[in-house]
DNA sequence: TAAGAATAGTTACATTTGAAACCATTTCTG
DNA sequence: CAGAAATGGTTTCAAATGTAACTATTCTTA
């Protein structure tokens, strides 16, 4: 797949020449976002493949590791991953099937389930995390701390703008 | 689906307290990106629904409109949309089925196909574009021109960092 | 405290998308 | 110029993910 942004930019430029009223810089910005996201997702899935993981399974393991007492409900995982509960059920099936996670009923609330890392799952994520962190540092190596802080600020501001902008449901 | 970023941030904070060496600000930045993207995609799909469109069909119509002579090959569309040729075939099927696009064989190169807007497709996209532009302006209303320019610069810089970082294929 | 509402997880079904294989055509190259 | 390689489009198959319906349990409230 070709990830050349110029196809889009040229098109947008031609429309802007024909029709008045396009907020061109912001249209480009929204679209640029798709390109960067696509690349980000692809690149990390590539890097995780060598460990038998993808961004969902990796993040799930990391979130269970980060939980108190090594226990996490599927619903919380669903929130942390921005994934449907359906998908988290399936994800848990996979992780249990791979022997990285155990699934036990919760005694306090019998509707719930508790996901925990098995020793093998814990070992895996503790190997993978430092490798991924190193690569994240590589990825951002040309950014100054000030640029990183500003990027963070702009992203959160964009998120707020989008939420205000949601269609009422 | 809950789009609360704090689930992730809390988890990442706990891991950082346990394991040394996490570039926390950049880890958060990468993840924040997923959240913003998800929201962006959702919101615009919501807004396009009232016209019977989604972000793919909308962008396809816009790209054909922007093409020279109102003609565009599926392959070019695939590049502009960052979508597989498989998917563009299907997209074209839909658009032709809805009566918005016509599909004709190309006389110069008989491997190719030419997608053009029908009068009805042209009418639709000319109605939708100004509406969407207005909403994009709303979405970005709190951003100064300097912030927009800086955001653009940072996104392109991030894209470059990611491309250098790709696994050799 | 009993009935209704809400929550947790799963299942069945549908949607979206891409990879790989395939055919037709065009371009490259020895 | 003939065979090999590349390109354009489609089809087949598979992977990923979501919605809605469903069961079991817990919470709310009249």
- Name the pLDDT band for A1 (thresholds 50, 70, 90): very low
Are A81 and A56 spatial neighbours (Cβ–Cβ below 8 Å)?
A: yes
Query: What does the pLDDT look like over B154-166, one tens digit per residue?
Result: 999 999 999 888 7
Across the interface, whether the CB atoms of B156 and A65 are under 8 A apart is answered no
Nearest to B43 by CA among A8, A58, A162: A162
B71/B122 Cα distance (integer angstroms): 12
B27/B6 Cα distance (integer angstroms): 14
Rounded average pLDDT over B116-145: 96
For B1, counting Cβ atoms within 10 Å of its Cβ (0-12 exposed, 13-18 middle, 19+ buried), the class is: exposed
- Name the pLDDT band for B107 (thresholds 50, 70, 90): very high
> Is the pLDDT reported for residue B2 higher than 80?
no
A17/A30 Cα distance (integer angstroms): 19
Rounded average pLDDT over B86-97: 97
B141 touches chain A (CB under 8 A): yes
B3/B38 Cα distance (integer angstroms): 9
Q: What angle do CA A87, A89, A95 make, to 5 degrees?
A: 100
Nearest to B78 by CA among A105, A4, A143, A30: A4
User: What percentage of chain B exceeds 90 in pLDDT?
Assistant: 83
Are A166 and B46 spatial neighbours (Cβ–Cβ below 8 Å)?
A: yes
B165/A138 Cα distance (integer angstroms): 8
Task: Give the helix ranges, DSSP H, for A67-164.
Answer: 74-81, 85-97, 119-139, 145-164
pLDDT for A7 equals 81
Nearest to A23 by CA among B24, B108, B91, B141: B141
Are B104 and B116 spatial neighbours (Cβ–Cβ below 8 Å)?
A: yes
Strand C nucleotides below 7 A of a protein CB?
7-12, 16-20, 24-27
Are B103 and B96 spatial neighbours (Cβ–Cβ below 8 Å)?
A: yes
Query: What does the pLDDT look like over A77-121, one tens digit per residue?
Result: 999 999 999 999 999 999 999 999 999 999 999 999 999 999 999
Q: Which residues of B touch A47 (CB under 8 A)?
A: 167
Are B65 and B118 spatial neighbours (Cβ–Cβ below 8 Å)?
A: no
For B51, counting Cβ atoms within 10 Å of its Cβ (0-12 exposed, 13-18 middle, 19+ buried), the class is: middle
pLDDT for B88 equals 97
Which residues, at least 6 apart from B16, have a Cβ–Cβ distance to it below 8 Å? Answer: B22, B24
Nearest residue, CB atoms, A21 vs list B7, B10, B130: B130
Measured CA to C1', what is the nucleotide nearest A87?
D17
Other Cβ atoms less than 10 A from the Cβ of A5: the count is: 19
Q: CA–C1' span, B10 to D21, in Å?
A: 34
Query: What does the pLDDT look like over A40-52, one tens digit per residue?
Result: 999 999 999 999 9
Across the interface, whether the CB atoms of B25 and A133 are under 8 A apart is answered no
Locate B118 and state its tokens.
């029908």
B153 touches chain A (CB under 8 A): no
> Is the pLDDT reported for residue B169 higher than 70?
no
pLDDT for A149 equals 98
Q: Which of residues 78-137 of A touch B (CB under 8 A)?
A: 78-80, 82-84, 126, 129-130, 133, 135-137
Q: Work out if A124's Cβ lies within 7 angstroms of strand C.
A: no
Q: Which of residues 64-83 of A touch B (CB under 8 A)?
A: 65-68, 76, 78-80, 82-83
Across the interface, whether the CB atoms of B66 and A4 are under 8 A apart is answered no
Kindly report which listed range (A33-47, B83-97, B116-130) carries the lowest average pLDDT score. Answer: A33-47
pLDDT for B1 equals 43
SS3 B122: helix
Tokens 């020279």, residue? Answer: B68
Strand D nucleotides below 7 A of a protein CB?
7-12, 16-20, 24-27
Are A115 and A73 spatial neighbours (Cβ–Cβ below 8 Å)?
A: yes
Element (H, E) at B95: helix B85-97
Across the interface, whether the CB atoms of A142 and B157 are under 8 A apart is answered yes
Tokens 């696009």, residue? Answer: B101
B127/A14 Cα distance (integer angstroms): 17
> Is the pLDDT reported for residue A62 higher than 70?
yes
From B30, which residue of chain A is nearest by alpha-carbon distance?
A40
Mean pLDDT (chain A) is: 92
Across the interface, whether the CB atoms of B151 and A167 are under 8 A apart is answered no
More confident residue, A145 or B163: A145
Task: Give the helix ranges, DSSP H, for A19-109.
Answer: 24-49, 55-66, 74-81, 85-97
DSSP B167: P
pLDDT for A3 equals 57
- Name the pLDDT band for B11 (thresholds 50, 70, 90): confident
A56-89 burial code (b ≥16 CB/10 A, e <16): bbbbbbbbbbbbeebbbbbebbbbbbbbeeeebe
Across the interface, whether the CB atoms of A26 and B140 are under 8 A apart is answered yes
> Is the pLDDT reported for residue B8 higher than 50?
yes
Across the interface, whether the CB atoms of B140 and A126 are under 8 A apart is answered no
Instruction: Give residue numbers, 43 to 102 of A, with CB < 7 Å from strand C.
Output: 73-75, 85-86, 88-90, 92
pLDDT for B3 equals 57
Q: Work out if B57's Cβ lies within 7 angstroms of strand C.
A: no
B8/A59 Cα distance (integer angstroms): 10
> Is the pLDDT reported for residue A169 higher than 50?
no
pLDDT for A72 equals 96
pLDDT for B111 equals 97
């Amino acid at each position: 797949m070709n990830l050349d942004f110029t196809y889009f930019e040229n098109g947008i430029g031609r429309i802007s020449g024909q029709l008045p009223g396009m907020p061109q810089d912001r249209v480009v910005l929204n679209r640029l976002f798709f390109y960067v996201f696509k690349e980000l997702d692809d690149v990390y899935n590539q890097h995780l493949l060598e460990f038998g993981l993808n961004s969902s399974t990796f993040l799930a393991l990391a979130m269970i590791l980060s939980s108190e007492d090594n226990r996490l409900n599927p619903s919380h995982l669903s929130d942390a991953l921005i994934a449907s509960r359906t998908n988290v059920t399936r994800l848990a099936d996979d992780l249990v099937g791979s022997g990285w996670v155990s699934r036990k009923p919760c005694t306090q609330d019998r509707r719930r389930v508790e996901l925990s890392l098995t020793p093998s799952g814990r070992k895996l994520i503790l190997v993978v995390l430092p490798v991924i962190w190193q690569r994240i540092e590589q990825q951002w190596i040309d950014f100054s701390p000030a640029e990183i802080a500003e990027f963070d600020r702009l992203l959160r501001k964009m998120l707020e703008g989008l939420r205000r902008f949601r269609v009422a449901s």
